[in-house]
Amino acid sequence: MPLATTRGPGVIHLSPLKVVAAQLVLPIHDTPDSPGDAGDTVRAMLYPGACLEQSWRAWKCRTSSHGCDADGDDARWFPDFSTGRYARVRDLHIMDKGLTRAFHGGKGQIVAGSFFAVVAAFLSLVRGHAGTLGLFSVVTLALPMLTSSSRCTPSPYMLAYVYAAYHTMKIPDRRKLAKKREEMKRAKEAAAALKAAEAKEGDGDEKKEN
């Protein structure tokens, strides 16, 4: 899901995951004679859908009543990243150079905002919300895009990302408010039950006196 597209030669579809991946493979040496290996971690980060699809195929294969070839491609729990179709180091190096050309001094903010966005997404998966980190990543990414508007065009997905970041930031407050309302409701119910018990006890004492 690209958040922006750079203009000029070497168009780049900018997404936080690709920016982070490009930084992770910077130390890897890559030449036409000796292509670098991005590593399975980078490829799995860039292609989570391929990992989920392959895991689903493996589960169907292993639970099928027709049997399953243990050495077949369908039995693999993860994709065969050795085919070279996924995350080439050269492409990521070209992307990093394109970021430098498009944003100049603002590249550091793009990189930092991308790392913040990836961590915010991880926190959202783990605990249900990213807190203020999601909105902070939006600000960090948006500022260099605005200052480099002549060389960068934000995509409509950026609005969706801002909307999601804003609402995930409000989730903790909404949970606290809901918890407070629940506590107040329980306190009122307990007070009403205590008052009813005292009234019932008073009625019993009056009947004994009569």
The mean pLDDT value of the chain amounts to 77
At residue 93, the pLDDT reads: 86
Phi, psi of 65, rounded to the nearest 5 degrees = -75, -10
Name, of 3-7, 109-113, 187-191, the range with top average pLDDT. Answer: 109-113
Residues 6+ apart with CB under 8 A from 143: 106, 109
Please enumerate in sequence order all residues whose Cβ is within 8 A of that of 138, keeping only pairs 6 or more positions apart, or say none: 113, 117, 161, 162, 165
pLDDT tier at 203, thresholds 50, 70, 90: low
In the chain, the DSSP E strands lie at 4-6, 13-14, 152-154
Supply the pLDDT for residue 9.
66
Query: Is the distance from CB of 173 to CB of 160 less than 8 angstroms?
Result: no
pLDDT at 90 over 60: yes
Compute the 3-state secondary structure of the chain and give helix, strand, coil in percent, each to the nearest 5: 70, 5, 25
What pLDDT shows up at residue 171? 66
Tell me: the pLDDT tens digits for 9-61?
A: 667 788 888 889 889 888 888 777 777 777 777 877 777 777 788 788 777 77
The pLDDT of residue 83 is above 60: no
Region 171-195 average pLDDT: 78
Would you state the pLDDT for residue 207? Answer: 58
Q: Where are the domains of the chain?
A: 4-47+86-209
Binned at pLDDT 50, 70 and 90, residue 69 comes out as low
Dist CA 64 CA 140 (whole Å) = 48
* E strands, 92-195, in order: 152-154
